Amino acid sequence: MKRTKRPTPITLPRRLHLFTLVCITACCTLATSCKPGAEKKSTQPNVIFIVMDTARADRFGVYGHNLPTTPFLDGWAKNALVFEDCQSVSSTTVPSHASMFTGLLPSAHLTDNVNPTLENERETLAEKLGKNGYRTFLFSANPFISADNNFNQGFDVSEHPWSEQHIAKSADIIRSKIDPADKSSELPKKIQSGQVESWAIKACGEVAEGALTSWLDRSQKDKPFFAFINYMEAHRPLLPPRRLREKFMTKAQIMRSYKTDLSWSRMWEYVFGLAEYRKEEEEAISLTYDAAIAELDEILESLLTTLEKRGDLANTLVVITADHGEHLCEHHLLDHQYSVYQPLLEVPMMVWHSSRIKAGRNTDPVSNIDVFPTILDFAKVSRASEPAVYAQSLMQTKPDRVRHSDYFAPPKKPIADVQSVHRGWNPKPFLRRLRAVVDGKYKLIWASDKKHALYDLSIDPGEKHNLFEREPEIATAILSQLIPVTKVGAKDTDAVKGSQSAIHSKRMDALGYIMKDDADVDTNGISSNGIEE
């Protein structure tokens, strides 16, 4: 029988040699782990905060819309926490974003379309997170939410569809969606004449995905990230592609959607009661908006699917909401001015985290300002220094919450444009400040011209029957809950002024905004600053 050769015993010198190798390896590993930049990755959650500009809740399937506008979000929301009753703090972009960024009500920060610059003393959500270890990124398709108005305060990087690295792709996207038959707004003619710079801000949401992933790849991966994205697909002038119109419209309705005149002047003539749209034209306006919401749904599907595949949604809080809604001919109104009716205030609110948020539906009254404390709490950032306590975490909702919404600065540009054609028209009914208080089933609208209104939303969701005179006790009780208009944290008149360049003014004009007061507008003695009661 052949004997098996026994292994050679390890001699003492060899044992010492192996021990030495182990020690050297351990020391090298320890040294590597102590190098700058090799720290253990933070356990703080990443945050993606998405605002769908001008998106009203009732046009989403998850909120009961009868058309399939949002198949992706409807499925995604099954794994998220959906708030069924979310109200915006304002009906326009600037005050709403300022509130979500600072946690202050519009009656406290007084930033609006007339005073659109966010002042330096406002400590923003991005600043708080940045001071606590976050890398921060902003991508906004709305020109208000930019460095020109200091809304980039606290963000390490801010980009836009018109940024140098994105403008070419943005222009290509816009051109690809222009239909030769589209005469519905000024946009097609502008694009065809080569005026892309001012109009490339619209409906380029897919650019945000590449901008975000590029920033994630080049920024510090050992730090958690906070990314804010504003999409403008649902903001006028609407430009959903034909293939999405085909989902909701007949051929005849598609052609009507392209031919219904929603130009700046025509739209405001309708709002001011100087013109009408036929029933089929109103239908085309509504269905075009649905197609725009469907485009947003596709954009969000691509974004969140890409981030999930990359692993960027691991330990990530995702918040999806809107700054305000949109009128679609309710109360003889379009756009989102001169009103605080529910189509402008009811917005979506959905939050998701793979392990820290339990999926479901919450019926308590909440507000989009609640994003501010919610994100800070998730990031474990102290809220002790906040000057106001109105905002409440979405993780600590209350069934008896009283909510407030403000509209302080009615724009004068539409009025000036219409007055130039309709001499003698009196704009006084539209030059008023509005404040809304929702307490349970009742909604009170305070108006600076004292034409107040009270509605029982439980039986009158369309706000058609004013109960202010019939229910004086209820009206008085809710009026007493109005929060005083007091500028919080004001320093002096030398606060930061946005660098509003000529090109920025063009972008604002492209959306129908104006950056200076109209001295030639007959305001009938109505002040535009919106702060005096």
Burial grade of 526 (CB within 10 A; 0-12, 13-18, 19 or more): middle
Query: So what's the pLDDT on residue 397?
Result: 96
Strands (E), 17-112: 46-52, 81-83, 86-87
Mean pLDDT of each 10-residue bin along the chain, 533 residues long: 42 44 42 41 89 98 98 98 98 97 94 90 93 97 93 96 92 90 87 67 90 97 96 95 97 97 95 98 98 98 98 97 98 97 98 96 98 96 72 96 95 92 94 97 97 98 97 96 80 38 53 46 38 35
Query: So what's the pLDDT on residue 29?
Result: 42
Query: So what's the pLDDT on residue 200?
Result: 59
Query: So what's the pLDDT on residue 113?
Result: 85
Query: So what's the pLDDT on residue 255?
Result: 98
What CATH homologous superfamily does 46-409 map to?
Answer: Alkaline Phosphatase, subunit A (3.40.720.10)
For residue 516, CA distances in Å to 55, 210, 294, 410 come to 27, 35, 35, 13
Nearest one of 161, 135, 152, 153 to 48, comparing CA atoms: 135
**CA–CA separation, 109 and 118 (whole Å):** 8
**Side chain identity at 175, as an amino acid letter?**
R
Nearest one of 482, 433, 383 to 113, comparing CA atoms: 433
Query: So what's the pLDDT on residue 509?
Result: 55
**What is the pairing mode between strands 434-439 and 442-447?**
antiparallel
Query: So what's the pLDDT on residue 447?
Result: 97
**CA–CA separation, 286 and 423 (whole Å):** 31
Query: So what's the pLDDT on residue 197?
Result: 61
Residues 148/177, Cβ–Cβ less than 8 Å = no
The reported pTM is: 0.87
Residue found by looking up tokens 């600072």 in the block: 102
**CA–CA separation, 228 and 212 (whole Å):** 9
Query: So what's the pLDDT on residue 126?
Result: 97
Give the burial string for 390-428 (b: 16+ CB within 10 Å, else e): bbbbbeebeeebebbbbbbbbbbbbbbbbbeeeeeeebe
Query: So what's the pLDDT on residue 350?
Result: 98
